[in-house]
A and B are shown apart, each in its own frame.
Chain A
């Protein structure tokens, strides 16, 4: 009997040693004491995925984000990051927060902001090392902000600041970049620059992006899901007309929230040129 078990273990082991999904959300229910916000969310991200989650305000985007980051415990279900529970695995997330109006007087240089990506990795009672500095420089180079490293963060434009926050997330050496409305407050030209940057980064890193910006997002990400209490996600490799149909068939009044008719035709145009 024992040897048979051993054999079964052997047969199983190749499956067990397969690299875990970057992010795995299983039957997740989440919300607050006064009500459930997310129902039965399932989502799996494999390496080098670039997933965009769109949805209306109040659809649960922020709740999903908080749950993935371990800031809000799930009501049911579970999330694993690189096969680990959130509390451990979240150190592998490079988090890029939504642009918020911040204190322009906070006297801190670009370099020091990006180096904060190393604080958790370095650990308590340890000083930053040369290795940390190398990673900070590399992260700044990737977002083309290295020449501005001695600027104060308050001296930057909105787009530059967003690049700095992306660099801070890259300095973590993350397995996944998690971006919350990365272009909510920049002008269209800067917006497409940032999406170009994200596409370049996607050659080496998995991305999950959350946004209400239906228009831009779906022309850059590989797959798109629609979140409104439930997640409508098929994980198709390409954005197809069917995918968009699916996304817009969310039981929400997405049409009423944005300018979807224009956006939809714009997208169909994009997909046709791609196909």
Chain B
């Protein structure tokens, strides 16, 4: 306990906890849509393409987070358009954009002279080095996510549940889907600093997937997803500190362990037994 309080006296530790909260909120809300709409692959694509923005931002000497945000927007719109508007095999094109984005990032980093240690932090996460500036950017992104999700909540729910029915009701499904992809872009960019680009998808989906097993509605799922995401991050952060391990990987191991346990104990907590379903006739 003493060491805990000692740790909190460091600014980097306070920043890390704030980052955990901000990332947890965004991923708790957006992760729900990624899981129920089954768009994990395209979310991974957006995250990796964003690395191109990080490389270019480094080369130009601006904040890599800004570069990542811009690139994630391009990725969201590009991949969304490919998926919706062309006859190409969407997953192939998304896979190609995924790799090209990363390659652009790596090449621009090569072209940048000097010290590149920080760049690794975007690949593997570095929650202990989140700067004040980045916290403010993350706060702004969170507010934007909250605003857009609350404005378009019923449409986001509708296209996640049944896109055909929504189309027939003249809900602008393509526009709403692009908004969702944009929000996913913002979220993964934030998460990159915490667990790193490579493990973003795990922290985006596992809390939501655990919550889905017990929640009785999307809003409940979002609340539990947020709580779990923050818990995993904070527990992983302290564990990594005591055990002297990489923080991002430790956070993912914590989340993964809980996820596997939740799957394992699930049969005992089934919401409805099959007997109950069978005994009810329509």
Contact = CB atoms under 8 A, between A and B. Distances in A.
B190 to A, nearest CB: 25
Interface of B: 36, 38, 151-152, 154-155, 157-158, 161-162, 164-172, 212-213, 215-218, 220-221, 271-272, 276-278, 280-282
A121 B165 CA distance: 12
B211 to A, nearest CB: 8
Interface string A95-114: 10100000101111100110
Contacts of B167: 69-71
Interface string A187-198: 001100110000
Given A93-B168, A107-B218, A157 B282 contact: yes
A108 B280 contact: no
A105 B212 contact: yes
7 contacts: A95-B164, A107-B217, A107-B218, A112-B217, A128-B154, A155-B272, A158-B282
B36 A106 contact: yes
A105 B161 CA distance: 12
Interface residues of A, number: 44
B172 A124 contact: yes
A119 B216 contact: no
Given A90-B170, A107-B216, A112-B217, A155 B154 contact: no
Instruction: Tell me the dominant secondary structure on chain B's binding face.
Output: helix
A120 interface: yes
Given A112-B157, A116-B157, A162-B282, A155 B271 contact: yes
Contact of A157 (B152, B161, B277): B277
Interface string A155-175: 111111011000010001000
B161 A116 contact: yes
A108 B151 CA distance: 19
B205 to A, nearest CB: 13
A119 to B, nearest CB: 5
B277 to A, nearest CB: 5
Interface string A136-162: 000000000000000010111111101
A125 interface: yes
Interface of A: 69-71, 87, 90-91, 93, 95, 97, 103, 105-109, 112-113, 116-117, 119-122, 124-125, 127-128, 152, 154-160, 162-163, 168, 172, 186, 189-190, 193-194
A119 B158 contact: yes
Contact of B168 (A95, A108, A162): A95
A95 B167 CA distance: 11
Contacts of A93: 168
Contacts of A95: 164-165, 168
B282 A159 contact: yes
**B167, B168, B171 — most chain A CB neighbours (10 Å):** B168
